[in-house]
Structure 1
């Protein structure tokens, strides 16, 4: 098995993502918000670069100012793409476990987990084929490389079975508030 169990812990459910698409229908909402937010950040940085160029000699020519602005834009877009690149890299080898004490995601060699007591949200979306997405906390951003805990389970086969199990274990009500 791909997960080290804690003392007195046993696996109640184990599964792999049913699909290997890195995008979910609800990602569009986050991407749209991020692009609007990033446009404001880029406009502010561009304004600062152009004001700095006009007031001081920090940027002695426009090519340096545009290089700084371009670097900021590239880094900002990489930040936006990172969760999807992480999914692309790990989704095919990911295995999810629900135990009596925690939810575990093993996307490779290193497992990430969240204790059942730390789950503060239990929302899900179901696809027509009965697979779906489960959100375990209130973060809007998709889980990525830097997350030490499990925030989401994606492309879960028979998502209602897993949500019912998690609802029973955590005492949280099931919610289908995730919009497609």
Structure 2
């Protein structure tokens, strides 16, 4: 089974995030240009790099780094009350009543992934709830189970 950390839905988030980060960088460049009259240009860019660029790059890459580090060790459980994801020792869960979206993508081999909410940003370390089930071997079986438990109609992408 393929183990990519990127999903089709991630492309929307990446496009938005890259545009957002470009605007943040442009604003930082303008501020650095205004401040550069009183400081050395090298000092201004080092301050901008340390305070804006590095945190923004981490914010953009963190969900994918988290997926890469935990994906092969993640186990999903579906009970009659919640969906639980255990990526290591720290379990995350979503109550079935809180699932506001049930969409899925099925690959040619029957595997796929399931989204449980409408968040565009990928599910990374900072999220305390389960937003997606990645690399599900039989996606139809799990979607049918969740549809029956939640009463939601699944939407294929």
TM range (shorter): over 0.9
Q: How many residues align?
A: 156
Tell me what 1:98 maps to: 78
Which one of the candidate residues 123, 138, 150 is aligned to 2:103?
A: 123
Q: Supply the distance in 1 between the matched residues of 2:98 and 2:20 (Cα, whole angstroms).
A: 29
Give the number of the structure with larger relative contact order, counting CA–CA contacts within 8 Å between residues 6 or more apart. 1
- Of 51, 68, 74 in structure 1, the residue corresponding to residue 34 of structure 2 is 51
5+ residue gaps, structure 2: none
Q: Does 1:84 align with 2:64?
A: yes
Q: Verify the 8 A CA contact 2:9 2:120 in the aligned structure 1.
A: no
Normalized against structure 2, the TM-score is what?
0.93
Match of 2:49 in 1: 70
Q: Residue 133 of structure 1 aligns to a residue in which SS?
A: strand
Q: Deviations over 1:102-154 (max 9, x none)?
A: 00000001110000011111111111111111111110000001110001111
Q: Provide TM-score, normalisation by structure 1.
A: 0.82
1:61 maps to which residue? 40
Residue 77 (structure 1) shift: 1.2
In 1: Cα distance, 2:122 partner to 2:87 partner: 15
Q: Counterpart of 1:14?
A: none
Cα distance per residue 1:74-93 (max 9 Å; x no partner): 22111111001001110111
Shift of 1:53: 2.8
Structure 2 Cα separation of the partners of residues 78 and 134 of structure 1: 25
User: Is 1:111 the equivalent of 2:91?
Assistant: yes
More helix by share: 2
Aligned mate of 1:37, from 2, 17, 20: 20
Q: Which residue of 1 aligns with 2:120?
A: 140
- Which residue does the alignment assign to 2:6? 23
C-alpha RMSD over aligned residues? 1.3
- Residue range with higher mean Cα deviation, 120-129 or 19-28: 19-28
> What corresponds to 2:148 in structure 1?
168
1:13 aligned partner? none
